Amino acid sequence: MSPLNPSVAVDRIDVASRDEALAARFAGIRSYTRELAAPLSGEDAGAQSMPDASPAKWHLAHTTWFFETFVLKPYCADYQVFHPRFESLFNSDDQGAGGRHPRHQRGLLTRPSVHEVMAYRHYVDRLLLEGLLRDSLPPAAVDFLELGLHHEQQHQELLLTDIKHLFAQNPLMPEYRPQNLMAAEAPPFRWREHQGGIVGIGHAGRGFAFDNEGPRHRVLLRPYALASRVVTNGEYAEFIRDGGYRDPRLWLSEGWAQVEAQRWQHPLYWNDTLDAEFTLHGTHAIDAQRPVCHIGFFEADAYARWAGARLPTEFEWEQAARGRRITGQFADQPDGELHPRIVTEHSSEPIYGSVWCWTASPYIAYPGYRAGPGAVGQYSGKFMSNQWVLRGGSCASSRSHLRSSYRNFFPADARWQFSGLRLAKEL
């Protein structure tokens, strides 16, 4: 048995409660994290491939630390901490929540073991489920628990992207999950026109949202067209063969500096002969019909310029997505594929899933935004610098985690996320 698929599990508690639905969601999301970690060995779970990535063991512990720090400690008077040093070991960047272990040294934490981390999860999970099902958690604690669930879904995606980057450094090119990839077929490319106008942007106030999704405000959009689908591997390969990585005129100055310094010649995980790529299912032939993936903002911007188009703003993407069903390819689908493909349903053209789409919008605060007090108030605001917004979710995202106002963000040169692009143009 894998050390990340332990016999210790969250016990079922059959108690009628007004919080049963939230308890079921909590148990399901926490169980899904364990499921994602189950294929990993203890060695896999403890390794860190670069400073921007974290070991799977750290993700498992950090998401548990969140619930312990922001729900159990402040709202359960008799709570006994699992381990007094875990507060600093598994803190992330929350300066208001105690000390923290340096991010680039997370891979040096050979202790606690994976088994200890899973016991930590079990301990926190049981106490939280008991509190929910006995209606003993106050409303403020339930709000933090809801935030923690969405926080965990973010880390589920990071666990997958970080493991993929780790495995790609291994000459054995190991498979995270053995699977034959289905043949893909991209629908025809079309331009979909939008008239723009004065539109409402941001979360409308119903259901959960992160603080960076508000306040809701109005934006003036000029008429524009948005591509009906994302750019495919085959289309991006044409850009490469046409000298896209050799022509500085296509690139922003900083992007071209990265091309030269990092010797970029193709998307991350493609081989140099442009016929195979590394995936979470091992090395596979590049399928021209699948979405191009693992490109940074600079590459997406250069491709759009080469194609005679541009990247959409995040506001254009949100207007186009508003009111549309969240359909597409996601990590929690039964087919289990963790490699992007374009999924159509009833002839619809999905705007969600497959790959996160880079936008032309810098990650900054909306008008009227104010970070809340305390450590949780730092959740989004402190990252609003030198990053770009991505929209739509990916094959590594959970469907229930997404909405039209959701804003993801990464630095312009980040390539290890499941990121691609969708073109836009003026009308």
- pTM of the predicted protein model: 0.93
Q: Check residue 183 and give its pLDDT.
A: 85
**What is the spatial distance between Cα 183 and Cα 90, in angstroms, rounded to a whole number?**
41
Cβ–Cβ contacts within 10 Å for residue 331, how many? Answer: 23
Q: What's the mean pLDDT when you consider all of the chain?
A: 91
Q: For 44-59, what is each residue's pLDDT tens digit? A: 999 999 999 999 999 9
Q: Residue 125 pLDDT > 90, yes or no?
A: yes
Tell which residue, 189, 192, 180, 145, has the closest CA to residue 26: 145
Q: Are 369 and 379 in contact (CB under 8 A)?
A: no
Token code pair at residue 374: 């305390």
Token code pair at residue 54: 């974290």
- Higher model confidence: residue 94 or residue 63? 63
Q: Check residue 98 and give its pLDDT.
A: 57
Determine which of 25-39, 178-192, 252-266, 267-281 has the lowest per-residue pLDDT on average: 178-192
- Higher model confidence: residue 102 or residue 247? 247
Q: For 177-207, what is each residue's pLDDT tens digit? A: 999 898 889 999 999 999 999 999 999 888 8
Write the CA distances from 41 to 1, 56, 163, 251, 399, integer angstroms. Answer: 9, 10, 12, 41, 27
User: Would you place residue 81 in the very low, low, confident or very high pLDDT band (cuts 50, 70, 90)?
Assistant: very high
ω before 39 within 30° of 0 (cis)?
A: no
Residue 236 identity (one-letter amino acid): Y
Which secondary structure element, helix H or strand E, spans residue 18, and what is its range?
none
